[in-house]
Every structure is written in structure tokens, then in C-alpha cells.
Structure 1
Amino acid sequence: MKMTLAEIARIVEGEVIGAADVVISGVAPIDEAKVGDITFVANRKYAKQINATRASAIIIAPQQREIVGKTLVVVSDPYVALGKLLKLFYPLEHEQRGISPEAYVEEGAIVSPEANIFPRAFISHGAKIEKGVVIYPGVYVGRNVAIGEDSVIYANVAIYHSCIIGKRVILHSGVVIGGDGFGFAETGKENVKIPQIGFVQIDDDVEIGANSTVDRATMGKTWIGRNVKIDNLVQIAHNVVIGENSVLAAMVGISGSTKLGRGVIVGGQTGMVGHISVGDRVMIAADSKIHKDVEAGKIVGGKPQMPYKEWLKVEACRTKLPEMKTTIERLVKKIENLEVKIDKHLK
């Protein structure tokens, strides 16, 4: 594909500074770009590479428009603009067209003729697969599952019975949707399994990374809201609710019945206890342990959680702990010696 900068600027809603008739044939990182490529700078630490890049044009933010000697496309958000161009220049192609005769589709399943089902996929009775859906080899779709238009289910995903998958959902390899929640009653003699009779609902435009799991509800539903983005190796327990536009980094674990509001950002390796509420637009630092409710708009971190600025102060002290321990021990010894002297004086 080839496009002029003028055409690109219209797509990314940007302004060209320089020759608008420059032809672009690819998108590349700033240190690898060659003539004919367009690159971008979204992080200031890469700004020092601008002079050295061979790219024919650079996507930049408004505060960098004073750069001289380069052809620029000024946009409000370079990273968003990059995403648009990558989709345009490198569209994702799924090789399978239609329903493979080597896919196993049980009687009673409803599969759109416009869906793309790869060999060795298994679709149970009562399942409904809408148009534009792509299902890769090794996928298991349980009975009465619904998968909305244009969703992509990569290899070896398992979607247990009765779960609902919205439109344009992406499930990466190894994802399990609707496995039993971790529900057991401890009697003192044994662990008694509590049947998990609920389901999972995943709304439109959700993406879930490889080997992540979303457990079905004990009763009712586990609910992943619209446009939620979940990284690899994330565990979502039974009856959890995650509000729309939230983002969870890798290795997050959320215990049962915890509810996240809209636009929540959770750093990697964070753990949350069950039955708590995290408000809208909360930001949680990586490797935190959330043990109680968090009010909307708060920024927290640490183990246990605390206000972010307080957590930074605590972290800054960690490397000084051995020195502080030595100082405290010395002061304690001095106080003990003073107490002995005072006691002798009083006698």
C-alpha cells in the first residue's frame, strides 16, 4: 500500500508540516525506519532519535511541532494515530474462509455461513456463531454459547456452556471462559464443592490475552464490560464485575464478587481480595494488594494499599532500612545507658 502524507493526515486527523505529497509505503520504529516509511514519537525519551531517523515523515504531538529539518504530521495523540495506520497498512488476514469441513459442528448449532471456522474447532449444539466470527483450530465452544459478529477466537480457547461473547471480541490462545468458580464450603472435615450455575458475559470490543481465565458465576453472571482490555495470565474469579474501558495488566488476580468501576487501570501482579468495590477511574500501581474498597478517582499502591504518594515515600525508605535499624539500635542502647545512670543518680 502507498499513500501520500495528505491522505494519511486526513485519516489520523493531523496537520502536515512539510511536503504533503510525500509517498509513504510502510510504518516502522524510529530507529529502523527507512526512506518511504512513516514513524512516530509518543514518548519523550525517543525524541533524541529524531535527527538520526531515515523515516520520510514523523508523527508527533503538538508540543514537538517546532522540530526543523523533518517532515511532520502533527496529531493530538501519536499513539492513537499509529494504531490507525498499522490497521491500514497491515490488515489482519485470516486464511480460513467459510466453515471448514474438518470443523466439528454439532446438530443444533447455528453458524452463520459468513463465519470462518478453522479445522478441528468444536461447536456444540445450541451455540450461535454470528457473521464475521473467526474460530481457530482447537477451539471448544460449549452448548448454548453465543458469539457476536466479527469476534476472533484464537487457537485452543475454551468457552464453556451458556457464556455470552459480544461483538468484535478478541480471545487469545489458551483463554478459558466459564470454568467453574472457586466455590467450596469447608466443613471441618472436607471441602464441599458449591455448584457454579451462573455464566460469563463479555461485552463488545473486549480483548483478553493469552492464558487468562474468567470463571463463571456461582449464580447470576461474571461480567466483563465493553472495551475492557485484559493482558496475559489474568485470573477473574466468579461474580466479578469489571466496568467498561478498564485495563488490567498481566498476572492480575481478582477474587470473587469484587466489582471494578469504569475506566479502572490495574498494574501487573496486583491481587484483590473478594467482595470489595473499586470506584470509577481508579489507578492501581503494579504489585499492589487491594484489601478494601477504593473510592472513585483515587490512585493507590503498595502491600497493603495506601495513597500513591504515601506509598512512594514508603518505597523510598526501603533501601535505608538497614541503616535505620542500626541507628535505632544505637539510640536504644544510649537510652538504656542513660536510664541506668539516672537510676544510680536517684538512688
Structure 2
Amino acid sequence: MKSYSIQELNTLLNGVLVGDTCQRIDGPEQLEKAKINHITFIGSNKYVKLWQDSKASIAIVNDTLVIEPGKDRALIRVKNADLAMAKILELFNPCSPEFDTNIHPTAVIHPSAILGEDCKIGANCYVGKDVVLGNGVILYPNVCVFDETIIGDHTTVWSGTVIRERCIIGNHCIFHTNVSIGADGFGYRPSDDGRGLVKIPQIGNVIIGHYVEIGANSCVDRAKFSSTIIGDGCKIDNLVQVAHNSVMGRSCIMAGHSGLAGSVTLGDGVIIGGSASIKDHTTIHSGATVGAGSGVMNDVPAGQTVLGYPAQEARTMLKQWVAMKRMMKN
């Protein structure tokens, strides 16, 4: 079991140590559940009052908070407790599942596929014709990578994920369980006789940049033509839909249950809150934020925050909500 002293932890965090404890730390835990061998963190005034009753020996705290360590306990004051806690979590992070052999005997790999150095391919994986895997790619059991797909160096693909044909994936990406990359976009039109629907062929692909992470059960559909694009550094939560021909800039965030309809464009650093929906052919410019549960029907200017359904500029929408509450009271 990993165990660290207060001095070792503070060296890692480069914080200001207040108080002292000889208790060694075996792991991190939230304030209410922590035991004496745990380190916890306090990022806002909301949680300061919980420290007194917490059994944790050490807390990482924002340096702006007014809080005392107490007897035989210590605080590590840092500029950002959330980022400091990320370092602690990495320190105690258990190892990933191990492979007994780099290429499992039940994996099916087409003879034309090209595998980089130190690739690991788990049981019952399928790697199709002319696929290229970069160095250090990991495919956990039951992953399918179809023809002519390219996956960059040190990308990890967890079980159940399907990457369809001709997709291009960057370096250092992480796809969690049951992600779908490159399924057909949702395109139908009424038939000439009005008695059915005609499927519009989806002949494009998906291009995903470097350091992209996509959560479990999320879908990124292939383009009707050209490419659906996810830029470098984007982070996508579980159960997210990115429809055909959408383009995401760099370092965008999409929270769970949110979705982009077809041909949506996101600038760099856009944040989409949980369960938000973005209408097709809409542009959300760089640095904008869409609040949780909002429905975006029109373009959003750079840096603006929008809320509501239909979404409006945040201050305008908040004023409307206040006015409605007053009307209801009257």
C-alpha cells in the first residue's frame, strides 16, 4: 500500500504547511468520509465548517480561506486546491489492468494492419484492413477498429468501443467504454411519393485531435461528406452526442447528456453544460459558455454565457426569471 508523510506530500504540492502531524497518509477521501489516515481538500468557504468534524489528518486548502488546522492535524495551503488534489489523486492512482501478452491470441488482426512499437491488443479485439496503430496504442478487450483507420501514439481505447472505417485519431487520446466513433450521421429525407424516408448516405469520416478524452457511451458521428472534427484537448463527458459535420475547436468541454446537432461549430474553449442542446448549423464562438439544460437556437458571441430554453444572454435570462417569480407572487 502506498503511504506518504506530510513532508513528502507538501514537497509534491509546493504549498505552505500549517500545523503538523506524524500520521502517514494512505489515500485521499472527501471530508465527511475521511479517516485519520486520509488527506482531503477544501476548495471553498462552503466546506470550511466541515473540517472541524472531519477525521482527516491533512487538508489541502485554498490559500484564501480562513481555517486553522487543529491539534495533531495539518493544512497545506495552495493557490488552487482542485489542481493540487489532482496531483494527489495521480499519486495514489492504481495501476491500469495488465496484459499477460501484448497481443492476445483471440484478437483478429488483418494482415495489412500496421502496428507500432509496444502496442497492446486485448482479447476478442478486431483490427481491420489497412488500419495503422501508432506506438504504445492500447486496445482493451472487445474493441473494434475498422478498415483504414489511423490511431496515433499512446492512445488508449477501453472495452466495447467501436471505431468505424477511415477515422483519424490523434496521439494520447482516451476513449472510455462503449464509445462510438464514426457511426453514420442521422440523415433522412421524405421520399418523392411521401410514403417513407430516404436515407442520405454518410460518406465522410471523423477526425479527432491530440489529447482528446471521450466518456463512456458517447457518440461522434461521421460526416455526410468531409469530416466531423474534434480539436486538440477537447474533453467530452459520458452520454454525449456529436452529430455529423460538427466541428469542435481546441480544449472544448461537453458535460453529460449534452448534444450537438448536425453542422454545429464550436470555437476554442467553449463549455457546454450538462443536458444542453445545440441546434443544427449554429456557431458558438470561442470562450462562450452554455448553461446546463439550455437550448441554443442561434449563434452565441465569443465569451458570452447563455442560459435557458431558448438560450439567451445569462443576465437577461436571470432578470426574466426574477420578473416571472414576482409576477407569480402577485
TM-score computed with the length of structure 1 as normaliser: 0.87
Matches within 5 A, 1:187-266: 187-189=191-193, 190-266=196-272
Matches within 5 A, 1:49-88: 49-64=50-65, 66-69=67-70, 70-88=73-91
Matches within 5 A, 1:7-26: 7-19=8-20, 23-26=24-27
Indicate if the aligned counterparts of 2:23 and 2:36 stay in contact, CA closer than 8 A: no
Residue 104 of structure 2 is matched in structure 1 by 100
What is the rounded CA distance, in whole Å, between the counterparts of 1:210 and 1:179 in structure 2?
A: 15
Q: Secondary structure at the match of 1:72?
A: strand
Residue 152 of structure 2 is matched in structure 1 by 148
Q: Secondary structure at the match of 2:8?
A: helix
Indicate if the aligned counterparts of 2:69 and 2:75 stay in contact, CA closer than 8 A: no
Residue 5 of structure 1 is matched in structure 2 by 6
What is the rounded CA distance, in whole Å, between the counterparts of 2:154 and 2:261 in structure 1?
A: 31
Residue 89 of structure 1 is matched in structure 2 by 92
Residue 342 of structure 1 is matched in structure 2 by none
Residue 39 of structure 2 is matched in structure 1 by 38
Runs of 5+ unmatched residues, structure 1: 325-347
CA apart distance, 1:66 = 4.4
* One of 289, 312, 315 as aligned partner of 1:306: 312
Indicate if the aligned counterparts of 1:196 and 1:216 stay in contact, CA closer than 8 A: yes
Residue 286 of structure 2 is matched in structure 1 by 280
Q: Secondary structure at the match of 2:318?
A: helix
1:44 partner amino acid: N
* One of 158, 174, 182 as aligned partner of 2:186: 182
What is the rounded CA distance, in whole Å, between the counterparts of 1:77 and 1:119 in structure 2?
A: 42
Q: Secondary structure at the match of 1:73?
A: strand
1:129 partner amino acid: L
CA apart distance, 1:124 = 0.6
Runs of 5+ unmatched residues, structure 2: none
Residue 329 of structure 1 is matched in structure 2 by none
1:144 partner amino acid: E
Are residue 269 (structure 1) and residue 275 (structure 2) matched? yes
Comparing 34-43 with 6-15, which one deviates more in the overlay? 6-15
CA apart distance, 1:206 = 1.3
1:88 partner amino acid: L
Count of aligned residue pairs for this structure pair: 324
Decide whether aligned partners of structure 1 residues 81 and 257 sit closer, same or farther in structure 2, where only a CA change above 3 A counts. same
What is the rounded CA distance, in whole Å, between the counterparts of 1:264 and 1:278 in structure 2?
A: 7
Which whole-Å deviations, capped at 9, do the CAs of 1:141-192 have from their partners, x for residues lacking one?
0111122222221111110011112222111222110011122344543433
CA apart distance, 1:112 = 3.1
2:150 partner amino acid: A
Q: Secondary structure at the match of 1:108?
A: coil
What is the rounded CA distance, in whole Å, between the counterparts of 1:251 and 1:26 in structure 2?
A: 31
Indicate if the aligned counterparts of 2:44 and 2:65 stay in contact, CA closer than 8 A: no
Which whole-Å deviations, capped at 9, do the CAs of 1:192-225 have from their partners, x for residues lacking one?
3332221111112211111111011122211111
Residue 338 of structure 1 is matched in structure 2 by none
What is the rounded CA distance, in whole Å, between the counterparts of 1:134 and 1:64 in structure 2?
A: 43
Q: Secondary structure at the match of 1:63?
A: coil
What is the rounded CA distance, in whole Å, between the counterparts of 2:39 and 2:76 in structure 1?
A: 9
Decide whether aligned partners of structure 1 residues 16 and 220 sit closer, same or farther in structure 2, where only a CA change above 3 A counts. same
Indicate if the aligned counterparts of 1:42 and 1:79 stay in contact, CA closer than 8 A: yes
Comparing 1-10 with 199-208, which one deviates more in the overlay? 1-10
Indicate if the aligned counterparts of 1:6 and 1:20 stay in contact, CA closer than 8 A: no
